[in-house]
Amino acid sequence: MVSASSAMTLSNHLRELRNRLVKSALAILVGTISVWQQFASIFAVIRKPFDQIASDQAVLALTGVTSGFSLQLRVSLSSAIVLTSPIWLYQIWRFIAPGLHGSEKKWAYIFAGIATPLFLAGVALAYYVMPRMLRVLFEFTPAEVSNVTSVDAYLSFFLQLTIFFGIGFLLPLILVFLNFVGILTGAKIAHSWRWLILSSFVFGAVATPNGDPVGMTFVAMPMILLSGIALTVALINDRRRARKLKKSGTDQWSDSTQSDL
């Protein structure tokens, strides 16, 4: 029996996608309007890392007649995207879910549940190390020169750094995902352990440009720990897959073996 989802035509799929996108856009719009009046409180949190290191040589300033409105719009929109993420992620899920099997849906829920706290942990770490990064960067300002920093430039720096850290904390989860779909084995991950450690310390070095080994290690250790957990999960999954193949009698063929048919 053919399900309704599988019998949908291309035009029906496009119409469904349009409806999901419209609902997501409306949710973000309502969220933007809702947080508009909370701009002062939200911006106070965003500029706090700058205020912790601000001095006579570093000044946060607006440039242009419309800069104030543009800033409030960007902050409100960014906040609304974060606050309404359960809604638009649900809409994306409702569009994708009909094409997934039951087991695939289960793993999708598990990965989504793990990805959210990992991303937030990366954002929190970025917020923690940001004052130290700003202090190092502002030390390059020549003497007797004031560093007038555009608020737009600072906001872009803030968003890029937090997203960079958030995605960085998702990389071990991506390794697990690649293992579960059969692209990457646990043995290959284990074979690349030196590169995982090196990349973790490179990540820490980027996050702490002053070259402080303690700070670099503080940032790198969570990445190494998460990579170790990802390796352990991948090895366990490989053993589970091997037992399943042996039980079914299909372990004698590799994925690259050509069928007689």
The per-residue DSSP string of 151-193 comes to: HHHHHHHHHHHHHHHHHHHHHHHHHHHHHHTTSS-HHHHHHTH
Banded pLDDT at 14 (limits 50, 70, 90): confident
- Among 133, 134, 113, smallest CA distance to 219 is for 133
Q: How many CB atoms lie within 10 A of CB 7?
A: 8
> What pLDDT shows up at residue 1?
42
List, for residues 42-67, the tens digit of each pLDDT value: 999 999 998 888 765 678 888 888 88
Residue-level pLDDT at 4: 47
pTM of the model: 0.71
Can you tell me the mean pLDDT for 235-251? 79
For the residues 147-164, what does the mean pLDDT come to?
A: 86
Structure tokens given for 98? 């009909």
Which contacts of 15-18 are long-range, i.e. CB under 8 A and separated by 24 or more positions?
A: 16/95, 17/95
Question: What is 63-125 written as a DSSP string?
Answer: -STTHHHHHHHHHHHHHHHHHTHHHHHHHHHHHHGGGS-HHHHHHHHHHHHHHHHHHHHHHHH
pLDDT of residue 114: 84
> In the predicted model, what is the mean pLDDT of residues 158-176?
85
State pLDDT tens for residues 102-131: 766 777 777 778 888 888 888 888 888 888
The predicted pLDDT at position 28 comes to 93
pLDDT for 21: 92
Instruction: Inform me whether the pLDDT recorded for 251 exceeds 50.
Output: yes
Confidence (pLDDT) at 44: 92
Per-domain residue ranges for the chain? 14-245
